Amino acid sequence: MDSSPQRPRREVRPTDQPPEGATHKNARPVLSFTAKRRGKAPSHLADLDGAGRKRILKDMGFPPFRADQLSRQYFAHFEADPARMSDIPAGMHEAVAHALLPRLVTKVVSLEADGGRTIKDLWRLYDGAQVESVLMRYPQRTTLCVSSQAGCGMACPFCATGQMGLTRNLSTAEIIDQVRAAHASCRDGALAGGPTSLSNVVFMGMGEPLANYKTVVGALHRLVDPAPEGFGMSARNITVSTVGLVPAIRKLAGERMPVTLAVSLHAPDDDLRDDLIPINSRWKVGELLDAARGYFLATGRRVSIEYALIKDMNDQEWRAQLLADELNRRGHGWVHVNPIPLNPTPGSIWTASTRRAQDAFVRRLREGGIATSIRDTRGSDIDGACGQLATAHAEGTRCVSLRKEKR
């Protein structure tokens, strides 16, 4: 039996190299809540509730009942072109297209992975800003990951989007039109396996959803309200992620909408999280977990803890134990941990944990009584992490795997 002492594991820190995608060696993450662009997207049917849509049509001289017809076409039939709506008179098409159904998102490129079960789309917005969405088919569900901002101001150093900075917030309709397009893609059999139905939406694309609070809550209503108000999806199949905007978490709990809250924690100790997640300089781990526990108590929805496992940085067993202790200190059965293998970045400190470290981390959590499951990652071969496709397209890379849309 080998009695020689074990060598301590190497530990890297977020400050050991510039942030992922940084353009100079002295770059440091900089938090920002101020958008580079302040332009407002054109008003759209999906920005308004039913009464607002009827009011717009009445002001245009059209019967208010047309609002329900337009809404059903959009939310139930996933149609956005008035000229293709059989129950809308031709004389209304141009006016309605301008006032209520302007084109907000235009597909730039699509990438397929996982045998056609994953499609990642890059969208151009009305002002040229770009965002991404990912449509994923699983055996029991079909999920869309949507963006809520163009870029992101949270500056997490391992995230491609975080290094873009915040370009601007998306409007409610710009978020919802990503969902409408995904519904249509599912219906039309764009994913391998034939036609299906979109069942789940996760706000885990570009941006910090709770930094665009009012707009995201509006989008949540359009997702869950029944037609003609919205898509009529189950709130329990919708997830909103956050890196830890504590006041906004408390506010969302007060909305009494039973959507799932996902907290991007990535470190259980303030010493590491201060550098890894810059917003931790404002709201510490304890405050964040207290707010997450409060969300569970207010909604009855179990909270997800997202934890990207980064080699030799946050994947030590003692951190798994600390995480279990912090969660158990606030009760049992209120939380579920999703360790996420980071997309590998050769030659960088931002790379995936070894399988041995991953298994040990998960085992320690489960031994501590914490419900834990490894996140099923998708699209690592197509710039799957949010922000990677937009960056690659802007730089003209990966052109072989881009499937250009016909215009």
Which residues does the annotation mark as catalytic? 132, 386
> What strands lie across the sheet with 260-264, from one edge to the other?
371-372, 335-341, 303-309, 260-264, 238-242, 200-203, 142-145, 130-137, 118-125, 105-113, 403-404
Say if residue 241 carries a ligand binding annotation. Answer: yes
Whether residue 171 is annotated as binding a ligand: the answer is no
Task: Evaluate whether 90 touches 353 at the Cβ level (below 8 Å).
Answer: no
Upstream peptide bond of 157 is cis (omega within 30 degrees of 0): no
DSSP, collapsed to helix, strand or coil, labels residue 285 as helix
Decide: helix, strand or coil at residue 403: strand
Which amino acid, 343?
A: N
Ligand-binding site membership of 343 (annotated): yes
With contact defined as beta carbons under 8 Å apart, do 335 and 303 qualify? yes
What gap in Å lies between CA 116 and CA 142, rounded to an integer?
Answer: 13
Classified as helix, coil or strand, 37 is coil
Longest dimension (CA), the chain: 88
CA 212 to chain centre: 12
- The answer to whether 159 is annotated as binding is yes
Q: Are 218 and 47 spatial neighbours (Cβ–Cβ below 8 Å)? A: yes
Are the CB atoms for 114 and 120 separated by under 8 Å? no
Residue 266 counted as an annotated binding residue:
yes
Is 347 annotated in a binding site? The answer is no
User: Would you state the structure tokens that stand for residue 74, as one six-digit string?
Assistant: 């959009």
Check the annotation: does 208 bind a ligand: yes
Q: Which residue has 């550098």 as its token pair? A: 275
Which amino acid would we find at residue 243?
A: V
DSSP per-residue codes, 58-98: HHTTS-THHHHHHHHHHHTS----GGG-TTS-HHHHHHHHH
The CA distance from 171 to 218, in Å, is 9
Q: Is 399 annotated as a binding residue?
A: no
Determine whether the annotation assigns residue 207 to a binding site.
yes
**What is the DSSP track for 153-183?**
SS--TT-TGGGTEEEEEPPHHHHHHHHHHHH
Residue with tokens 């924690």: 265
Binding region for [4Fe-4S] cluster? 152, 156, 159
Binding region? 152, 156, 159, 207-208, 241, 264-266, 343
Binding region for S-adenosyl-L-methionine? 207-208, 241, 264-266, 343
